[in-house]
Amino acid sequence: MSLQSELNDPALLRHHGFIDGAWQDADDHTTLAVHDPASGALLGTVPRMGTAETRRAIEAAQRAWPAWRAKTAKERAALMRRWFDLMIAHADDLARILTAEQGKPLAEAKGEIVYAASFIEWFAEEGKRVSGDTLASPSADKRPIVVKEPIGVCAAITPWNFPAAMITRKVGPALAAGCPIVVKPAEATPFSALAMAVLAERAGIPAGVLSVVTGDPQAIGAEMTGNPIVRKLSFTGSTAVGRLLMAQSAPTVKKVTLELGGNAPFIVFEDADLDAAVAGAIASKYRNSGQTCVCTNRFYVHEAVHDAFTRKLADAVRELKVGLGTAPGVTVGPLIDAAAVSKVERHVDDARAKGATILVGGTRHALGHGFFEPTVIAGATHDMALASEETFGPLAPVFRFSNDDEVVQFANATEFGLAAYFYSRDVGRIWRIADALEYGMVGINTGLLSNEVAPFGGIKQSGLGREGSRYGIDDYVVIKYLCLAA
Ligand SMILES: NC(=O)C1=CN([C@@H]2O[C@H](COP(=O)(O)OP(=O)(O)OC[C@H]3O[C@@H](n4cnc5c(N)ncnc54)[C@H](OP(=O)(O)O)[C@@H]3O)[C@@H](O)[C@H]2O)C=CC1
Ligand SMILES: O=C(O)CCCC(=O)O
């Protein structure tokens, strides 16, 4: 059965890019194939667009900008609210498309659609609260006034691990602030982006305000970063590509928001509620088969509870059900592609060769293709590749520690600084450790910290800026100072 025939609204599955309110092919009519990561089956194609199409989308955004910024925040919010309502009304179809191209279990995909829609709703409201200031004047004859204005045409480059939410977390604040935006989705997962664009069009978002350009990452990225019309670039993805885009944005001095890689530690202190810590560990590590930049990469467990925690974690991991995202009860789907599977395998092999013990999993799953067994290994050490590289897969390495100072040092010994987690019931320790961890986000007695009201983002080489929350709109406005003389 084709994906289209499974949808209540087959028109949501589009095979064209969306530029200036029109569904378009690539100029040279070339296409990119999109595959189901669970089976490798061809799902369909999208246009392989490049420089010229991206430039047209940017120029359309520039034309659309004056009318879009001239609307009141309330008028923009009404259109965005309609878009949000349509996303919720079509959540089942959007989730089905997402699972087909990304692999995550259907329930998790539906969760992502609701999460994605929440950014549209949240920022529609938040746009109404972008306010300036009147400052106290140092002289009697002048009134200093601060106004906030939309930054202008924005561009977004997004990853395959959250094909819906990483788009709305950027598009939501842009539209709310009064900025048009051009989006390049990951080539593995363009259909979710295009389906959301269908709904944005139906909601009445004007032509040019939101365009989706699919295709060649280098060409599209070069145009988005090089074109002086674009005033802001927002990127989620690997640190290597983030660095490159930041450098490419330098000649035109664009504002950049970067959500990059992580290497999240998850610390279990000796006073932790171990069952709660195991539940948090499962949520944090195996969500999206471990393919989330805030997924735990390293477990540090105090020696007094190490054996008990590790046993409970291994037992819980044995209960996970691996399979097709569409199969009932499945909790762990496939990884995105063969390279992702090879990376997990390399980390496991390297750890085994350096003395780690495989407690559960450790091999490719019998289902083949993108599937890897959820894995727990004990005896992890800092010379293993998994200690410094983001595995981005279902591998939980457990390290042992003996005191607070030591574990903070281990946790912070990385160039990344996105998310960290710890479990403790001691209030004094909670404050001390929360202060000491060099991370942008810290989950305390929880393994899940993302939602639309939270400022999502990292420090160090995990990125710049914050997305979501009331702070998330700041990157899409500029401050103008007016000096009014009497
Ligand atoms: N922070 C996060 O959420 C994510 C982190 N990662 C990390 O990165 C690793 C590699 O994943 P990968 O998908 O390769 O991540 P990338 O950083 O390569 O991909 C993210 C986005 O950037 C695009 N892109 C890639 N190269 C360029 C370029 N030169 N110019 C402009 N855009 C570009 C991709 O396009 P296209 O898909 O078309 O290649 C995609 O849209 C993962 O294993 C993980 O460790 C990955 C994804 C998300
Ligand atoms: O950057 C990512 O990996 C996606 C973030 C997922 C989340 O919002 O929790």
In whole angstroms, give the CA distance from residue 228 to residue 225: 8
Give the rounded percent of residues in the chain with a pLDDT score beyond 90: 99
Candidates 33, 71, 29, 85; CA nearest to 52 is 29
Q: What is the pLDDT of residue 97?
A: 98
Asked whether the beta carbons of 188 and 34 are under 8 A apart, the reply is yes
Residue 223 has pLDDT above 90, yes or no: yes
In whole angstroms, give the CA distance from residue 124 to residue 122: 6
Spatial neighbors of 458 by CB under 8 A, at least 6 apart, are: 259, 260, 262, 416, 417, 418, 419, 439, 440, 441
In whole angstroms, give the CA distance from residue 98 to residue 162: 9
Which residues of the chain form CATH 3.40.309.10?
Answer: 264-444
Q: Which residues form ligand 2's pocket by a CB distance below 6 Å?
A: 161-162, 165-166, 236, 259, 292-294, 450, 456
Q: Please, what CATH class does the domain formed by 264-444 belong to?
A: alpha beta
Strand blocks (E) in 85-141: 133-134
C-alpha 392 to ligand 1 mean position (Å): 12
3-state secondary structure of 407: helix
Q: Which residues pair with 31 in a beta bridge?
A: 47
Six token digits for residue 83: 């878009």
Asked whether the beta carbons of 60 and 206 are under 8 A apart, the reply is no
Average pLDDT in the chain: 98
Based on the residue annotation, tell me whether 259 is a catalytic residue of this protein: yes
Name the residue of 118, 161, 162 to mutate for ligand 2: max ligand atoms within 8 A of Cβ: 162
Q: Which residue pairs from 377-384 have beta carbons closer than 8 angstroms and sit at least 24 positions apart in sequence?
A: 377/348, 377/351, 377/352, 378/310, 379/355, 380/298, 380/299, 380/351, 380/356, 381/354, 381/355, 381/356, 382/410, 382/413, 383/354, 384/347, 384/350, 384/351, 384/354, 384/356
Question: Model pTM?
Answer: 0.97
Q: Is 469 left (phi over 0), alpha (psi -120 to 50) or beta?
A: left
Spatial neighbors of 404 by CB under 8 A, at least 6 apart, are: 269, 429, 432, 433
- Within 13 A of 331's CA, how many CA atoms are on the CB side? 14
Which residues of the chain form CATH 3.40.605.10?
Answer: 3-260+462-485
Q: What is the pLDDT of residue 1?
A: 76
Asked whether the beta carbons of 422 and 299 are under 8 A apart, the reply is no
Q: What is the pLDDT of residue 360?
A: 98
Model ipTM value? 0.95
Q: What is the pLDDT of residue 486?
A: 80
- CA nearest ligand 2 atom 9, residue: 450
Six token digits for residue 251: 């000649």
Which of the residues 101, 223, 259, 390 is marked catalytic?
259
For the stretch 445-457, pLDDT in tens is 999 999 999 999 9
In whole angstroms, give the CA distance from residue 277 to residue 381: 21
pLDDT band at 224 (very low <50, low <70, confident <90, very high): very high
Q: 2-6, 7-11, 227-231, 386-390: lowest mean pLDDT where? A: 2-6
Asked whether the beta carbons of 299 and 348 are under 8 A apart, the reply is no
Residue 126 has pLDDT above 90, yes or no: yes
Q: What atom in ligand 2 is closest to the CA of residue 450?
A: 9
Ligand nearest the Cα atom of residue 183: 1
Which CATH code for domain 3-260+462-485?
3.40.605.10
Q: Give the pLDDT mean for 92-119.
A: 98
For the stretch 136-167, pLDDT in tens is 999 999 999 999 999 999 999 999 999 999 99
Radius of gyration of the chain (CA): 23
Q: What atom in ligand 1 is closest to the CA of residue 260?
A: 1
Ligand nearest the Cα atom of residue 294: 2
Q: Which residues pair with 234 in a beta bridge?
A: 156, 257
